[in-house]
Amino acid sequence: MSSRWYTVVIDSNDPARLARWWAQVLGYQVMFESAEEVVIALDAHTYPGLVFVPVPEAKSGKNRLHLDLNPDDRDGEVERLVDMGARRVDVGQGEAVTWIVLADPEGNEFCVLRSREQ
């Protein structure tokens, strides 16, 4: 017996806004939306997706789980994401790493990796 990875759930102060931001980042679409959750995925048959749920409190502290993005052009993607509202953050990664740490509009950290083969 095993399980399938279905979604990652992300707490958010504004789930609809943050879900649409991440959908634009990933080329995903909104699959379901209600007051309790917004689900985004590549399509109705491809998982994992992301689920955004409302919480009243703001994010505090460093994420214990984060997404890594694998772009064709790391520097170009970082520029695009910053233009969309991401910001660079320091989580102690140091100068010698090959990835760049950003935070989404609600402060959730994620990494943009150097370009890799698919």
CATH (one of 3.40.50.300, 3.40.50.11540, 3.10.180.10, 3.30.830.10) for 1-57:
3.10.180.10
Give domain limits for the chain.
Answer: 1-57, 59-118
Res. 118: pLDDT tops 70: no
Distance from C-alpha of 86 to C-alpha of 108, rounded to nearest angstrom: 9
Q: Rounded mean pLDDT of the chain?
A: 94
Residue 34's pLDDT is what? 97
36-83, pLDDT tens digit by residue?
999 999 999 999 999 999 999 988 888 889 999 999 999 999 999 999
- Is pTM beyond 0.85 here? yes
Same topology, domains 1-57 and 59-118? Answer is yes
Fold for the domain defined by 59-118: 2,3-Dihydroxybiphenyl 1,2-Dioxygenase; domain 1 (3.10.180)
